Amino acid sequence: MQASMWKYAVNLLKTFMFPIAVYLSFLVITLLMSKTGYVSFGAFDRIVRGSVLTTITAYAIALPLSGGRWDFAPGIIIMLAGIIGSNITIDLGLGPVMLLIITIAVAIVLSLFEGLLYVWIRVPTIIVSLGVVMMYEAISGVVYGGSGTQLFMHANLTIFARSPWIYILLAVVMVLFYYLLGHTKFGYDTRSLSANPRLAVNMGVKEKRNILLTYLVVGALLGISAVINASTVLVSPAGNLSSTALMFSSMAPVLMGLYLAQFTNLPLGIFAGALGMNSLSYGMVVMGINSSLQTVVIGVFIVVFMAYTTNQERIRSYLNRAKAGRKASA
C-alpha cells in the first residue's frame, strides 16, 4: 500500500514537474532583473485562475482529438454560447446558476449540431468544423444586434470566474472528466475507436452514438468555458476565423497533456500543461516582452517540447551510445 502511494506521489511530481520548472525558472529570472511582479501570491493566483479556462477548453479539444477528429469550432461555440446565455440571463433577471445552466444548454445545442452534420455528411471534421465556424461567426454578428456581451459588468453573475467558485468548478469538471474517460462505457468505446476504429465497430461499438455523445460532452465543457470567458472579458462578434485563436490558445496544453498523462492521467496532464504555459506567458509579461515576441517564444517552446517528447527514445539511445563510446575509448 505504501509502495503504491509512493509510486503515485512520484508520478504526480513528474506530471507537475513541467509547470514547477517553468515557474521557478521565471521566478529566478525576474528576481535577478529586480522585477517583483512574479513573486507575489496575486501573481500565482492569476496564473492558476487563468489556467482554469484553458484547461476546461483543452478537455473539450482533447476528447474528439483522442478519436482522431480535429475540431476548429470550440472557440466560436464558447463565444456564441456566452453571448446568447449571458443576454438571456440578463434580460430575464436570472442568477449565476441559471446563467451556467442556460449557457451549457446553448453550447450543447451548438456542439450537437456540428456532430450531427459530421454524422450526416461524413466528410472530415476539419472541413465540417471550418464550415460551422464561419456559420456561427456570422450568427454572432447578428444575434442581439451584434452587441456581444459585457457580462463582467454584472458582478453578481460573474462568481464562477472568481475564487473559490472557479476552483470548485475546475475540481468538479476534472473529477467528472476523469470518471467519464476511465470508468464508463463511453470512455472505453472512445479509446477503442481511437486505437482501431474498424475493429471497435466489428466488436459492437456504435460509432455514431459515440460521436454524438462526444459532442454532447464537448458542448457541456464549452458551456462552462463560455461562462468563465464571458465573466472576464468583453465578448464581441467574431469574423474571418478570429474565434479560432481561442481554440489554438488551448492546443498547447492538449499536446503537452497527452505526453504528461503517461505519468498519471489525461485530466491532470492537461491541467499541468495549462499551468506551465500560463506560467510561461505571465513570466514574459512581467519581463516586459511584447506580445509578438511572446507568440514566437511560445511557438518555439512548443516545437522544442514536441520534438523532444516525440524523439526522446532516439535521443536516449544516442546519449547511451555516446556514453558507451567514451567509456570504450577511456
Most confident of 5-9, 48-52, 112-116, 322-326: 112-116
Q: Is the pLDDT of residue 1 over 80?
A: no
Q: Given this model, what pLDDT does residue 136 score? A: 95
State what percent of residues in the chain have pLDDT above 90.
42
Q: Is the pLDDT of residue 319 over 80?
A: no
Tell me the C-alpha distance between 298 and 251, whole Å.
12
Task: List the single range of 36-45, 57-66, 94-103 with lowest mean pLDDT.
Answer: 36-45
Which comes out higher in pLDDT, residue 233 or 81?
Answer: 81
Q: How far is CA 135 from CA 60, 64, 76, 139, 142, in A?
A: 20, 20, 10, 6, 11
Q: Given this model, what pLDDT does residue 252 score? A: 86
Task: List the single range of 67-81, 115-129, 307-321 with lowest mean pLDDT.
Answer: 307-321
pLDDT tens readout for residues 244-285: 888 888 888 888 888 888 888 889 999 999 999 999 888 888
Q: Given this model, what pLDDT does residue 3 score? A: 66
Rounded to 10 deg, the angle between the 251-260 and 291-310 helix axes is 30
Tell me the C-alpha distance between 228 and 53, whole Å.
7
- What average pLDDT does the chain have? 87
93: left (phi over 0), alpha (psi -120 to 50) or beta: left
Q: How confident is the model at residue 191 (pLDDT cuts 50, 70, 90)?
A: confident
Amino acid in the structure at residue 231:
S
Q: Given this model, what pLDDT does residue 132 score? A: 94
Question: What is the rounded average pLDDT of the residues 208-227?
Answer: 94
Q: The pTM is what? A: 0.91
Which comes out higher in pLDDT, residue 192 or 92?
Answer: 92
Q: Given this model, what pLDDT does residue 259 score? A: 86
What is the rounded radius of gyration, in angstroms, for the C-alpha atoms of the chain?
21
Q: Given this model, what pLDDT does residue 306 score? A: 78
Q: Residue 161: name the closest of 173, 171, 169 by CA.
A: 169
Q: Residue 140: name the closest of 79, 185, 201, 70 by CA.
A: 79
* Furthest CA-CA distance within the chain: 80
Q: Given this model, what pLDDT does residue 330 score? A: 61
Q: Which long-range contacts (CB under 8 A, 24 or more apart) does 11-15 make?
A: 11/263, 11/264, 12/263, 12/264, 12/268, 14/260, 14/263, 15/260, 15/261, 15/263, 15/264, 15/268, 15/269, 15/272
pLDDT tens readout for residues 170-190: 999 999 999 998 888 888 888
pLDDT tens readout for residues 50-68: 899 999 999 999 988 877 7
Q: How far is CA 19 from CA 22, 28, 48, 65, in A?
A: 5, 14, 11, 23
Q: Is the pLDDT of residue 198 over 80?
A: no
Q: Given this model, what pLDDT does residue 295 score? A: 80
Q: Residue 216: name the closest of 116, 112, 119 by CA.
A: 112
Q: Is the pLDDT of residue 167 over 80?
A: yes
For residue 68 the three cell numbers come to 482522431
Question: What is the rounded average pLDDT of the residues 72-81?
Answer: 95
Task: List the single range of 102-106, 113-117, 129-133, 287-291 with lowest mean pLDDT.
Answer: 287-291
Q: How confident is the model at residue 161 (pLDDT cuts 50, 70, 90)?
A: very high
Locus of grid cell 476552483: 167
Q: How far is CA 34 from CA 39, 166, 173, 209, in A?
A: 11, 32, 39, 57
Omega of the bond prior to 253 within 30 degrees of 0, cis?
no
Residues in the chain: 330
Amino acid in the structure at residue 64:
P
